[in-house]
Structure 1
Amino acid sequence: MAFEYVPLTLPASADPSFFATFGKEVKGVTDPGNLTSEQFNELQDALYKHSVLLLRNCKLTPEQQYALTKAFDPQSESYGHGNNKTGSAKKSILHPDLKTIPRVPQVQLIGNGTVYNHEGLDIAQLAHPSHTTFHKSRVSVEEEAQGYTRFYRRVPQWHIDAALYDLSPPKVTTLYGLEVPAGPKQRVRYDDGTGDEFEVPLGTTAFVSGRNMFDILPSELKSLAVRSKVIYAPHPYVWMAPAKAMSTGLGIESDGLELPLDELPPWEESKIKTLPVTWKNPVTGELHFQVHPCGAKELLVQPLPEGANREGALYPDGAHLTELKEVRELLYKMQRPAIAPKLVYPHDWAENDLVIFHNRGVLHSVVGAFTKTQVRKFHQCNLAASEDPVGPTEEDIKRYA
C-alpha cells in the first residue's frame, strides 16, 4: 500500500493558508520500525517538504525508534545533548526532564507522574514542566484552575532540540506517545499585551514553521536574517538557568541573571556554536528561520553585498552585536509574528502517535499542565548531527539583501 499524505486537523485558530505544505498525516505506515529503503526514502523526502509528519497507531520499540531516527543521519550516534544529557552540570535546566532508557541511551523517557518497571527503569518520577517555575510572571492559581496556561518547556519553551554547544543540532526528532491522559482543553495565553490566546488540547506539543517565520518578515528583516549568524553561550542551559522567561515563551527576560561565564562548567572557545539565523532546507532549498532565542548571546551581521540597495537596510555595513538586551529584542521582533495563533499547530496526542519533525525546520513548545496523578509516557529521540546546518547561499543573500 502506498503512503497517503493528508492535511493535519487544524484548530479553529489556525489559518489554513499557512498550512498548505506545513504538516501532514501519513496513512499507510503500519510498522515504522521496519520500513524498506524505498519507504524510508519516501518518508524522508516528505519530512523535508512538510516539516512535521504524524503517523497514527504505531508500535515502536526504543531500539526501532533509535534506528529510525538515525536513518535520517546515519553518521550520527549520540543523543542530541550527549548520551549523559547534561554531564555533571546539575544546574542545567535540562537535568530534571530526561530519564534515559538504560539499554538505548539515545532514547529518553519524558512525561508526567510515577512510572514503574518501564524498559529497564524500576521507577521513574516524571514531571511535565510548567511555566510557573521559569516564567518571570505566571498565570494565577485561580486562572490556572479555570484552564488557562502558557507555552512552556524547561528547555525552554519555543525551541530547537539542540545542545547549542559542542554538538551539532539534530536533523530530526521523533516523539512517540505511549500513554496519554485525557482531560479538558486548556487556553494558552500570551500575556504580552496583544490579547493573543487560543484553545489547545491538554499537554499539546505546539509547532510553528521556520519557513513561515522567514517568509512573513518584511524585506528589511529578511535582509538582516540572511546576513546574520547567532553566537550561542557556552553551556547555554546552565548559563540561562537563573534567568526567567518571557510570558510568550519566546526568550529570556534581560534582567542580568545569567551566570557569569567564569562560573560555568569548563568550556572551550572552539566548542561555542556560531550558526546561521536561516537554515537551508536540503530538499526544497527554502530558508527556515531557526534560532533558539533563549541560548542566543551575540549576533554577527554581514555587510550588504556590493550593489545592494542600502535604503532602509539595517546594519548595512555589518555589525557585531554583543549587548544581550539588544540581541534579544531584535530576535524577538523577527520571531514573535510567527507564533501568532493563526500560525501554530497544537498536536492533539493519542496513544501510539508517532510525530517525526524536521528539527532544522520548525520550532516547538510543550504547553499546559497535568496533575500529579495523571501519568503521561513518551519516548523522545534526537541525535546530535554529523554536521552543522547549512546557511543561505551567496545567491540567497543577494536575493533578499
Structure 2
Amino acid sequence: MTTLTISCKPLTKSAESQVDFGAELHGLNMEELTDDDFAILHKALYEHQVVVVKNQQNLSPKAQYELTRRFDPSAGVYSHGKSIDKRSVLHRDLTTIPRQPQVQVIGHGFVKEYEGLTNLQLRHPHHKAFHKHPIPEDEDEGFTHFYRWHIDSAMYDLDPPLATSLLAVQVPKGRRQICRYDDESGTKLDVPLGTTAFFSGYRLFELLSEEEKHFVRTSKVEYAPHPYIWMSKAKSRSNGLGIVSEGLELSEEELPPFEDEKVKIYPMAWKNPVTGRLAMMVYPTCVRKIHLEDGSILDNLSEIRERLYRLQRRAIDPQYVYTHDWEEGDLVLFNNHGVMHSIVGSFKDGVEVRLFRQCNMAGSRPPLGPEDIL
C-alpha cells in the first residue's frame, strides 16, 4: 500500500487570508491507486474541498478519467453530455480527447499535436466577450477580471459532477496580473497569470445571518432550460458573479426543444456527504426562478439576481478566495458540490501557451439537500 501523508498547506501567504480549505497530498501513485489510498483521498476531498497533488506530468487521460470517476462510479458521460450546441457560450472553450471523451483539453494558444489532436488553436475564455464592462484593451496585459463564478454542470437534464479534476500540462511563466472587481467595493487582487480561483460554499453559508440561513435552507432555485444558450446574449457583472439584467435572455420559443421534467430545481444549500456541513451552492448566471418555503415562486429575474448577489457577494471578498498558482504537473481535484470557481486572466496571443486537461462527469445523483440523511 502507498504511504500517504496529507499536509494542509496555507493557501495564501497573506496575513489577512481567511481561506479555510485546501490540502496538498504526497505519496500517491495515481496510475495505481489502491482502494485504501482512494479512501484517504476521498476523505481528504470532502474535508478540504480542494486537493492538490504535485508532479503528475505522466498521468494518462485514461487514468485521470478513472480517478475522477471513482468519486462517482455510476457516472460516465461528460458533464455537458455528448455534444454541445454551437449556440452555447461553452462551445468554443472545450476540445474532446478522441480516445477519452470524458476528458477535455482547455487552455490558450497554438498546440501542434497533443493526445491525437493536431493543430489545436485553444482559446482561454476572455471576459471581454462576456462582461458588460470589460477592462479596456490597452490595460488588458496588466489587469483582468474573474470570468464567471460557476459550478461545473449542464444545469439541464444532467446533474452536476461530484468532483472535477484539472491537470496542468503546460503553464506560462513569469508574470502576474491584477484582478479588478470593478464593483461597488473597488477591490483589486494580485493573482498568478491564468489562475483558477475558488471560494467555499461552506464558508459562505457560515457568513450568512440566521434569517439568511433559513432562507437558503428552505428555498430552491430553478435553472433555465438549456441555460448556456438561454443566457448567450446576456452580459456578466465585472466581478464575474452573475448577470446584468437587460432582458437579453432568449425566450422559450428561441431555445432548442426542451422537456419540463429535465429542468433542474435544486436546493440552495447542498450537504457535504462526509461532514454533513451545508454549503450555499447557487449558480447565479443560470438561475431563472426561486421556489420559496411556502410554495410560492419568485420569477422576477432582476429581483432574483439582486437577492442572490447580496447573499453571495461576501464570499468573493479577497480574504476568502484561493487563487491557485499553477505549476506544470499539478493535479487539482475539487468538490464540485462544495466550492465554486472561476477562470481568471488573459494571455498574450502567439507568445503564451497554456495547456490543461479537465475531467468531470455528470453526477449519478442530484446534490444532497439539507433534509437528506447521510
Superposition deviation, residue 67 in structure 1: 0.4
> Number of aligned pairs?
371
Please say if residues 46 and 274 of structure 2, whose CA atoms lie closer than 8 Å, have aligned partners that are also in contact: yes
Residues 149, 96 of structure 1: alpha-carbon distance in 2 compared, 3 angstrom cutoff: same
Give 1:353's aligned residue: 330
Q: Percent identity?
A: 49
Give 1:398's aligned residue: none
Give 2:143's aligned residue: 148
Please report the TM-score for the alignment, with normalisation by the length of structure 1.
0.90
Please say if residues 302 and 319 of structure 1, whose CA atoms lie closer than 8 Å, have aligned partners that are also in contact: yes
Aligned-residue CA RMSD (Å): 1.5
Structure 2 distance, partners of 1:298, 1:99, is 32
SS at match of 1:369: coil
**Which residue of 75, 87, 97 maps to 1:91?**
87
Superposition deviation, residue 114 in structure 1: 1.0
SS at match of 1:160: coil
Residues 261, 183 of structure 1: alpha-carbon distance in 2 compared, 3 angstrom cutoff: farther
* 2:241 aligned with 1:243: no
Superposition deviation, residue 6 in structure 1: 2.2
Please say if residues 229 and 275 of structure 1, whose CA atoms lie closer than 8 Å, have aligned partners that are also in contact: yes
Give 1:330's aligned residue: 307
1:201-280 alignment runs, 5 A limit: 201-280=192-271
Please say if residues 18 and 319 of structure 2, whose CA atoms lie closer than 8 Å, have aligned partners that are also in contact: no
Residues 56, 204 of structure 1: alpha-carbon distance in 2 compared, 3 angstrom cutoff: same
Superposition deviation, residue 138 in structure 1: 1.2
Please say if residues 53 and 331 of structure 2, whose CA atoms lie closer than 8 Å, have aligned partners that are also in contact: yes
Alignment deviations for residues 140-177 of structure 1 (CA, whole Å, 9 cap, x no partner)? 223223x111001xxxx100000000001000000000
1:1-400 alignment runs, 5 A limit: 2-13=3-14, 15-19=16-20, 22-29=21-28, 31-58=29-56, 59-84=58-83, 86=84, 89-145=85-141, 147-152=142-147, 157-303=148-294, 319-373=296-350, 374-393=352-371
Please list every run of 5 or more consecutive structure 2 residues that lacks an aligned counterpart in the other structure.
none
Letter in 2 for 1:82: G
Letter in 1 for 2:91: H
Structure 2 distance, partners of 1:143, 1:113, is 20
Please report the TM-score for the alignment, with normalisation by the length of structure 2.
0.96
Structure 2 distance, partners of 1:370, 1:394, is 44
Letter in 1 for 2:298: L
Superposition deviation, residue 15 in structure 1: 4.1
Superposition deviation, residue 2 in structure 1: 3.0
Structure 1 distance, partners of 2:143, 2:17, is 25
Alignment deviations for residues 321-350 of structure 1 (CA, whole Å, 9 cap, x no partner)? 000011111111111000110000000000
Please say if residues 165 and 235 of structure 1, whose CA atoms lie closer than 8 Å, have aligned partners that are also in contact: yes
Residues 17, 341 of structure 1: alpha-carbon distance in 2 compared, 3 angstrom cutoff: closer
Superposition deviation, residue 3 in structure 1: 2.1
